[in-house]
Structure 1
């Protein structure tokens, strides 16, 4: 009897591990950025804005990180109130302003990234770089395959 897992079983196991990893990443992130007055959720939104190729509305920030619009909207409002983000007029949509980092927001994101760097380096020491590259490619492929057709961005 063949006990080799099916591809479907592998995908299910990967999904469970990603959920578990996400929980641990959030907890570790909270510990790393707490001294900066951030949470993992706030750091994640700052990162989505910082890494975006151009400013976008809250819905784009949420989509980029796989988060709900409502949660991102709440966090954006909090970060605007704290002066880490700002909302700018959107020439394409009057009611959906563009979310941008302020100078203090850029500094907060840079500080969070710097605080995370030693932890990332320690984690990376335990894994073959080729395996890390393969894992990243696989996760990106799975994420792309899970994208709903109506979520697809025009080219």
Structure 2
């Protein structure tokens, strides 16, 4: 098998793993009224060093601004995030966690820890780290290719 064939096979495994991860994530956070997509945005907002506008959140997640805006609106309607005035831009509000959002984020971690522990059981840390390194390199090359095409 050459590297192109191996990479193509890896792509298929990534697509399948992503679908399984989204389905499992949906099931995990459903009791909190969330989906995997909402969980991802909530987590990105929670982990940011400071409140960010939707465009920055979307860029950090590798998603379109429109899709993240829809999810932020849903999270705001649920009282999990708040939109605050942005001193640098009149229309681009800053997204930050509400008290309810912070409590929900803590609840997610309580659900996530045993789930991740179960998934990690019996897996070699060095192999997990190697897989993460390959995925980072692949993502970097893909993003570089997109940037070159945009120019």
Gaps spanning 5+ residues in structure 2: where?
none
CA deviation vs aligned residue, 1:85-109 (integer Å, no higher than 9, x gap): 0111222222211111111111111
Q: Aligned residues, how many?
A: 146
Specify the SS of the correspondent of 1:100.
strand
The match for 2:133 is: 137
Q: Which runs of 4+ in 1 moved over 2 A?
A: none
CA 1:54/1:15 → structure 2, altered by over 3 Å: closer, same or farther? farther
Matched, 1:122 2:118: yes
Per the TM alignment, residue 36 of structure 1 is displaced from its structure 2 partner at its CA by: 0.9
CA contact (8 A) 1:89 1:97 kept: yes
RMSD: 1.5
Structure 2 match to 1:100: 96
- Equivalent-residue separation in structure 1 for 2:47 and 2:6 (angstroms): 31
Scaled by the length of structure 2, the TM-score of the pair is 0.89
Q: What corresponds to 2:6 in structure 1?
A: 10
User: Given the alignment, which residue of 60, 66, 71 partners 1:75?
Assistant: 71
TM-score, normalization: structure 1?
Answer: 0.87
Equivalent in 8, 29, 32 of residue 25 of structure 2:
29
Q: Which of 37, 41, 53 does residue 37 from structure 2 map onto? A: 41
Is 1:149 the counterpart of 2:141? The answer is no
Distance 1:108 1:31 in 2: 15
User: Distance in 2 between the 1:106 and 1:19 partners?
Assistant: 31
- Structure 1, unaligned stretches of length 5 or more? 151-155
| Residue deviations 1:45-79 (CA, integer Å, cap 9, x gap) | 10111122322111221222222222211110111
